Amino acid sequence: MVCLVGCQDSAKSSSDNWLLVSFAEGVPITYRMVSERKTEIDMTTGDPKKKSRPQTTTEKLELVMVYTPVEVDPFGLSTLKVECQLAKVTRSGFSGKRSASDAMETLTGKSFTLKLTPTGKIADISDLERIAAELGAASFSNSKKGTRIKNPDMIGDFLAMQRYLWDAGATISNQLNLSVKDTWQSQQSIPWPVPTYPPPGRTTTYTLDSISDEDSQPRKAAISSVYTLSETPMDEYIRPYEEGKFQMRGLFGFLRNFQFKHIEGAGTQIFNLDDGLVESDTQQYLLNITATFMLPLGDSLPVLTVDQKISIERIEQ
């Protein structure tokens, strides 16, 4: 598959300066993906003399994903078989104790397919929806009273990173005329600990910062990104869980009415033009949320701060 996303002025021909995303049939591409966050919950009150002790939880998802092109069509849809070689989650709860195993770890050894357009846009997510539903089902346990209890999971992080990998190139509207310092935008979901629908969204503004062109060195494009909260709800997203009522396990189960107030952060993607693939993608941001308790606790209101880091790195195997 070939994705044409831009060029810059150079003595070389324009075709040598295109940012080309290319797949070779049967040749696997491996990425290490990591999503980690620290979530802090503090209390606000009407009395400035009252101070609470913030509670903190940490979560980290580590993935090794192998993308193997099984059908390549430069003018239609290309099909990738995606296999998870490793899915590992580490988590500390608000009590400081390690939580039970995460449903994401059941992805190890499983596979699904993605269909991409010539521009790199994911065109068919049906098999990704299937695998997400399997993961979602694994995140539940039943209490003695028959209540559906949802354990913490990082399924949303996994789904978000599948799009982050391709979105920088796939969301350019005028690809052939793109120049250094041009910008474009994409609406993307924000992974965080509590399932809400529609999920929180961000507007990602990409900028093509530079294209290196040094003798004896691979040519690389540097694409920066900054984030703001989306003004409109997400209209495209995957829902891993069956509809119906359930109770979140832990402190998040007692919170309601989440309001996403602010996001601030930035990222950088390095695209290897000679290989025609994303080499790395890093993101870091702070997300601020307010909420209420399921049962009122006077004038105390919870305020959440999520410190999120995401990294995607191509690795050789």
- Average pLDDT estimate for 225-254: 90
| DSSP 8-state secondary structure symbol assigned to residue 15 | G
Total count of residues recorded for the chain: 317
Instruction: For the chain, list the domains and their CATH numbers.
Output: 2-315 (2.30.230)
Give the separation between CA 231 and CA 266, rounded to whole angstroms. Answer: 19
| Cα distance between residue 21 and residue 243, in whole Å | 37
Average pLDDT on 293-310 reads 87
- pLDDT over 50 at 259, yes or no: yes
Is residue 232's pLDDT more than 90?
yes
> What does the mean pLDDT of the chain come to?
87
Q: How many CA atoms lie within 13 A of 216 on its CB side?
A: 0
How far is Cα 310 from Cα 36, in angstroms, rounded to an integer?
Answer: 6
pLDDT at res. 10 = 38
Over the stretch 36-53, which tens digit does the pLDDT of each residue have? 999 999 987 666 666 677
Section 82-102 average pLDDT: 83
What is the reported pLDDT for 47? 63
Higher-confidence position of 180 and 47:
180
DSSP letter for 97, please.
S
- What was the pLDDT predicted at 157? 98
